[in-house]
């Protein structure tokens, strides 16, 4: 497995990581623990060293899964987790959790994550979403204290805007920004990527395969269960899926020339954008995991990269409902 460094932090990870959310959250009911343990350990054997989770995935189930499954190989891997939501016992479990990045809440969340992950220090700790009620300087300061105490090693942000990134980085060095980025969603290119390059911050794209669309296994006739997050997304309506099929057809055609899959072409395009980009495609199947890893060996030509980029710029449909989109980037 090829390795990449997360910006100028010196933290080295596999060129492709594993997003673990879907094992416990968002894509239907939580998957079988033993089956997911097998997938996680297969990932380590295949060379993946970078695993992504969060306290809100479950909630808590995903961190517990990783804590148990990866304990025997802890010295070989990097685990990233996230704080930032109100998951207190008194909250209505039927409602979406609100944001909470108050310093005391951050420290309490970290204590919980340390126990569930069965670690003494969190490798990479992200603020899951920017909290408009808490100055980012206070957030960065709290994480800086945790780093000083040895409970956290690196600080990250998720879906943060350029100004927020700069302000946070001025208090505590930001190692990585985790945000959606793929042929499916490229808003970061205009403002965020230049800031990351300037400050030496890595980009860790989640949903690098467009929540499955860029694998070529979804079309206008695909239906999603009510428990599947995609059932509520504008970009997964039959009309949007049909309009965006041309991109998948292009990826498929290029893949055939290289003996590669559609998903591998999409990931190879992403990896070719910057050497400090480390995507974390999620999967619950070892076969898909191996397929994703294969993208690191695929070298696309300059003409192919241009053609793919041009087609990707024509994607139609919003990625989130308007209300949710308003709180994703600050």
In a domain, 246, yes or no: yes
**CATH code of 50's domain:** 3.20.20.100
In a domain, 330, yes or no: no
Q: How confident is the model at residue 307, as a pLDDT?
A: 97
4: enclosing H helix or E strand: strand 3-5
201: enclosing H helix or E strand: none
Q: How confident is the model at residue 226, as a pLDDT?
A: 86
Residue 111: asked if its preceding bond is cis (omega within 30°), the reply is: no
In a domain, 222, yes or no: yes
In a domain, 113, yes or no: yes
In a domain, 295, yes or no: yes
- Residue 298, classed as helix, strand or coil, is coil
CA distance 320 to 7: 29
Domain that holds residue 188: 3-325
Q: Which tokens is 301 given?
A: 């030509």
CA distance 62 to 35: 13
In a domain, 147, yes or no: yes
Q: Which tokens is 241 given?
A: 């899926």
Q: How confident is the model at residue 180, as a pLDDT?
A: 95
Specify the pTM.
0.94
- The number of distinct structural domains making up the chain is 1
CA distance 267 to 329: 24
**Active-site residues: which are they?**
57
CA distance 193 to 199: 10
Regions of the chain with pLDDT less than 50? none
In a domain, 35, yes or no: yes
Q: How confident is the model at residue 329, as a pLDDT?
A: 53
Strands (E), 171-269: 174-180, 202-206
Q: How far is CA 5 from the centre of its chain?
A: 16
In a domain, 228, yes or no: yes
Which residue, 310, 152, 283, is CA-closest to 206?
283
């Amino acid at each position: 497995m090829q390795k990449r460094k997360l910006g100028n932090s010196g933290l080295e990870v596999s060129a492709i990581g594993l997003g673990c959310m879907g094992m416990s959250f968002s894509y239907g009911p939580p998957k079988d623990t033993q089956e997911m343990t097998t997938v996680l350990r297969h990932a380590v054997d295949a060379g993946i060293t970078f695993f992504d989770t969060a306290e809100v995935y479950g909630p808590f189930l995903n961190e517990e899964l990783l804590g148990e499954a990866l304990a025997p190989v802890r010295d070989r891997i990097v685990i990233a987790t996230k704080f930032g939501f109100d998951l207190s016992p008194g909250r209505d479990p039927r409602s979406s959790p609100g944001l909470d990045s108050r310093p005391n809440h951050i420290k309490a969340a970290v204590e919980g994550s340390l126990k569930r992950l069965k670690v003494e220090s969190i490798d990479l700790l992200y603020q899951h979403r920017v909290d408009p009620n808490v100055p980012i300087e206070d957030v960065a300061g709290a994480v800086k204290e945790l780093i000083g105490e040895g409970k956290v090693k690196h600080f990250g942000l998720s879906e943060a805007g350029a100004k927020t990134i700069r302000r946070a980085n001025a208090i505590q060095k930001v190692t990585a920004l985790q945000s959606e980025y793929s042929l499916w969603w490229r808003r970061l290119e205009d403002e965020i990527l230049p800031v990351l390059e300037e400050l030496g911050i890595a980009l860790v794209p989640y949903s690098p395969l467009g929540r499955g669309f860029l694998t070529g296994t979804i079309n206008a006739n695909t239906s999603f269960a009510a428990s599947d997050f995609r059932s509520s997304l504008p970009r997964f309506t039959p009309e949007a899926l049909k309009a965006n099929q041309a991109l998948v057809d292009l990826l498929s055609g290029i893949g055939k020339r290289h003996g590669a899959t559609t998903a591998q072409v999409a990931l190879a395009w992403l990896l070719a954008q910057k050497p400090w980009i480390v995507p974390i495609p999620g999967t619950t199947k070892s076969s898909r995991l191996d397929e994703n890893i294969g993208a690191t060996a695929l070298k696309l030509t300059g003409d192919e990269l241009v053609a793919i980029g041009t087609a990707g710029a024509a994607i139609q449909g919003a990625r989130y409902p308007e209300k949710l989109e308003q709180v994703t980037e600050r």
